[in-house]
Structure formats: C-alpha cells, structure tokens
Amino acid sequence: MKQIKFDITRADVCKRIFATTACTARAREAMGTPPAITERMLATADDSAILYPLIEESVNEVYGDIARHHPGSTVDFVEEEHGGHYAFDIKVPANYPDGNERKLEHCIASYIAGRALQEWYTNAKPDEAAITAARIQNETTTLQALLTQRVKPTRQEEKL
C-alpha cells in the first residue's frame, strides 16, 4: 500500500469560488444581464458563512467516492487561526501509478469547489447551476478514472 497525503485549504476553495462567480457575473453582464441579477451571482468573503457548509458537504461527497475505491482512506478537517484545511490521506494499492498524486489533488480540489459552486448557484441563479453541473460531471469522470487507475503488471521471463 502507498499513501497519498495532501491538504486543501478552505480559503483556497473559497478563492476558486469567488474567482469563478466574478468571471461568470462579468460575462453575463457583458451579454446584457441586468446588474441586479449579476450582483446576486457574486460570492464574496462576506458569504463565507454560507459557503463553508457547502464546501463541507462537497468534501463529504468526494470522501465517499474515495472511500468506495480505497478503504482506509481518511479526510480530516484541521481548524486553524485563519480558517482551516482538509487533510486527505488516501491509501492506494502498490500498483497505483507514480506521478498521479498532483493530478488527484487538483481534481479533488476542483470537484470540491465546483460542487459547492453548484449549490451556491442553485440558490443564487438556478440556470447557472445546470451549467455548473455539467462541469462537475466532467470532474467526477476524471476523479473516477484517477481513483481506479493501476499500473498493469508485466510478466518477467526467467533468464536461463
């Protein structure tokens, strides 16, 4: 068994959400959406109290996928002075490909931010939630592929 350990900070997930909502609001405003509607789409630091439970729910969902494929893996929330982070400890088989750790970490972080963003849009602008759901489906497919990847064993011939 190998272990993959990494941390995802709640602040980084929030930054992803803030950036995405800002870009989406600007794009919608450029397309002629009234400012009153685009203002509702924006997530800001003032909305952190709303976002934190959505992020927690997303972490729980992704942990379910991880645990299904890799029993014994854990995700813990570590409270810190300026927020906190989620400590992932994923136990993978010995034949898990080397070099996939960063891809897996990035995919999980993207999934968490995207899923929380989808829930945000469900309340703020439901038509955007459907668009975000399609993106989340792509992340889910990538995550499933990364979690199930293995290095195919090769037969070694005995030398005489």
Q: For the residues 46-57, what does the mean pLDDT come to?
A: 92
On whether residue 138 sits in a domain, the answer given is: yes
On whether residue 160 sits in a domain, the answer given is: no
> Over 90: is that where the pLDDT of 51 sits?
yes
Query: What is the tally of structural domains in the chain?
Result: 1
3-state secondary structure of 156: coil
On whether residue 77 sits in a domain, the answer given is: yes
Contact residues for 13 (Cβ-Cβ < 8 A; gap 6+): 55, 109, 112, 113, 116
74-80 and 2-9 beta bridge pairing: unpaired
Strands laid side by side in the 74-80 sheet: 2-9, 83-92, 74-80
User: Domain range holding 14?
Assistant: 2-148
On whether residue 98 sits in a domain, the answer given is: yes
| Sign of the alpha-carbon dihedral angle for 61, 64, 65, 67 | positive
Identify whether the C-beta of residue 8 lies closer than 8 Å to the C-beta of residue 109.
yes
On whether residue 35 sits in a domain, the answer given is: yes
Residues, the chain: 160
Q: In sequence order, what DSSP letters do the residues of 16-30 get, joined into one string?
A: HHHHHHHHHHHHHHH
Average pLDDT of the chain, as a whole number: 91
Q: For the residues 40-65, what does the mean pLDDT come to?
A: 92
3-state secondary structure of 154: coil
- Confidence (pTM): 0.89
pLDDT of residue 137: 94
